[in-house]
């Protein structure tokens, strides 16, 4: 069983969460000036990291808050969590 520590609710089974994607992607500074090709790349081209990676997760079956999760993609170990707008401890 994979447990994710929600900053508000504590440790919960991962079935309470949905994956929200890569938390390292940076949104375009000026969306109105972004070309179709740049939007395509931003939306569809993703890294597939091996090892530690920061992701967004949504606690849909709990407090409904978004959080950041540092997870090892090779072992699926959850290394640390924080509110979505917070910093992850190293």
Give the pLDDT score at 8. Answer: 97
Residue 47 lies in a domain: yes
pLDDT at 90 over 70: no
Residue 90 lies in a domain: no
Residue 88 lies in a domain: no
CATH number at residue 65: 3.30.2270.10
Place of tokens 């910093």: 87
Residue 89 lies in a domain: no
What span, in angstroms and rounded, lies between the C-alpha atoms of 74 and 67?
21
Q: Could you give the number of structural domains in the chain?
A: 1
Indicate the burial class of 83 (C-beta count within 10 angstroms; 0-12, 13-18, 19 or more): middle
Give the pLDDT score at 89. Answer: 74
Per-residue pLDDT tens over the stretch 31-87: 999 999 999 999 899 888 899 999 999 999 999 999 999 999 999 999 999 999 999
Range of the domain at 50: 3-83
């Amino acid at each position: 069983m994979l447990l994710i520590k929600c900053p508000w609710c504590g440790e919960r089974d991962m079935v309470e969460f949905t994956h929200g994607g890569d938390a390292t992607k940076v949104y375009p500074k000026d969306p109105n000036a972004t070309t179709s090709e740049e939007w395509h790349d931003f939306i569809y081209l993703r890294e597939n990291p091996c090892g530690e990676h920061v992701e967004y997760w949504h606690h849909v079956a709990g407090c409904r808050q978004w959080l950041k999760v540092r997870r090892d993609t090779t072992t699926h170990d959850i290394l640390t969590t924080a509110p979505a707008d917070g910093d992850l401890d190293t």
